[in-house]
Structure 1
């Protein structure tokens, strides 16, 4: 992605390092890029925190508890979504499966599941939760799966984390059956809560989030691989959870009522703009 980029915003990593990173606007793809982008072991070090909740099942803080409550509702909605797809078989790959709750929900409802999770601790939790300690279904990398194909591939808040974006999208296409369905959920930097909190918006989550997408950027990126965005769905709970974290970053303390107000306002404005805090893209392989 070598098009001209302009400074959009400067944000801080509130989870691990307190370092600042720039968000550069890529006008060709209508997206933001984190700069400088850490790589390899340096990037992995930014995930080594007890506060990185998708790699744990923590219920310690108020934010943790809210996350776990919302997750239970979200799991039901995600299962309902994938059950709506007409598939040859029920073979599902969840990329970035975290601690495996989505995979477990799918497995318990008749899906043949495989997961990819780079974080070793989260991967071990998933393996134990789903299959005991002898799993051959949870892997550290997509490349291990190059001979397999799936009816449905899901990435729930994962695409924003991958270093080699265009290469990764190409790999996803190869893993998806003809007429298979790819489900991509990512934050939307054009939402009201993003514009309200600006550099404090928790979904920027630099530098773990390397890319920050708009609706147009997703459509442009996947059309290059002859994959079509067929539907865009909202993730309405995200505005509340992200606002709760953003309040903490902005004011050094949680403010549940203010976060609820901003999250609700964001969803109400999105009813006409469709610019929800996070969006789900249903993408079909050609």
Structure 2
């Protein structure tokens, strides 16, 4: 299967024009994948993608706790970690878990405190060093998934899949590394959420070009079914709508945007209860029985 279908289609097939509000202000477009229906960032600067992460303000690579926004983020992160861990259900002690794209390692450290056998993968050096201090040097790697020989009971990707360049190859590797009765938990933004539709090109969760792919529940179903896997359950990440809405207001440079962001986030969560289109959705995925 073609790993980069963007390069073969006409530039006119775009859905939305937007730009990298976070860092470079460069322009990009979104186009619809004809096979699975998710949106794709174009162009994808794969040869120099690292430069778009080179900022001290890229919060998932930092444990910064200086500003009020930093402190708020860190507090919400603690609550979110417990919520994420609850999605694992009645997991047995000693179960093997891989957190791919583990960032600064807070989820991994929490899983280790619950007596799970943990392994993390994190390509960013500074984030990886922070994680190694929390869970041990040998428990965090800078490695491609295909270079890991182990298989796992649980694989988690918390806002990681949208960053993966070789998407189809990577999903195949996820499946290979999952034990027969194992589960994959993947959190990704949902471009069909109310906050996405409200903020449009300013929606912070588009985060181009760091986010190469933009999913909806239907496109996730189609994508993983194609690889012989099944989405068993969906969960909301309730706080994501607030964080994304606040950033979106910042990008719009709205005066008193804090109050509107809170209102939009609340409305988005409320609508999501009825439609399933939350700002961020966690998908619990299993292999289809042969």
Q: Shorter chain as normaliser: what TM range?
A: over 0.9
- Residue 244 of structure 2 is aligned to residue 238 of structure 1: no
Q: Which structure 2 residues correspond to residues 57-206 of structure 1 after superposition, within 5 A?
A: 57-82=63-88, 84-86=89-91, 89-131=94-136, 135-143=137-145, 145-206=147-208
Matched-pair contact (CA < 8 Å) for 1:32–1:212? yes
- 2:53 corresponds to: 47
- Using the alignment, how far apart are the partners of 1:61 and 1:26 within structure 2? 40
Matched-pair contact (CA < 8 Å) for 1:187–1:212? yes
For residue 193 of structure 1, report the CA deviation from its aligned partner. Answer: 0.1
For residue 141 of structure 1, report the CA deviation from its aligned partner. Answer: 2.0
- 2:229 corresponds to: 227
**Cα offsets for 1:42-61 (capped at 9, x unmatched):** 10111110111000011233
- Using the alignment, how far apart are the partners of 1:88 and 1:229 within structure 2? 24
Matched-pair contact (CA < 8 Å) for 1:4–1:26? no
For residue 247 of structure 1, report the CA deviation from its aligned partner. Answer: 0.4
- Using the alignment, how far apart are the partners of 1:28 and 1:44 within structure 2? 28
- Using the alignment, how far apart are the partners of 1:263 and 1:10 within structure 2? 23
- Using the alignment, how far apart are the partners of 2:187 and 2:256 within structure 1? 26
- 2:30 corresponds to: 23
**Cα offsets for 1:162-192 (capped at 9, x unmatched):** 0010000001111110111000000000000
Matched-pair contact (CA < 8 Å) for 1:87–1:151? no
Q: Which stretch shifts more, 13-22 or 106-115?
A: 13-22
Q: Which stretch shifts more, 213-222 or 194-203?
A: 213-222
- Residue 283 of structure 2 is aligned to residue 281 of structure 1: yes
Aligned residues: 281
Any unmatched runs of 5+ in structure 2? none
RMSD across aligned positions (CA): 1.8
Matched-pair contact (CA < 8 Å) for 2:97–2:118? yes
For residue 158 of structure 1, report the CA deviation from its aligned partner. Answer: 0.2
For residue 151 of structure 1, report the CA deviation from its aligned partner. Answer: 0.2
TM-score, normalization: structure 2?
Answer: 0.92
Matched-pair contact (CA < 8 Å) for 2:93–2:114? no
For residue 224 of structure 1, report the CA deviation from its aligned partner. Answer: 1.7
| Secondary structure at 2:149 match in 1 | coil
**Cα offsets for 1:209-257 (capped at 9, x unmatched):** 0000011111111112211101111111111110011000011667321
Q: 1:165 to 1:96 in 2, by over 3 A?
A: same
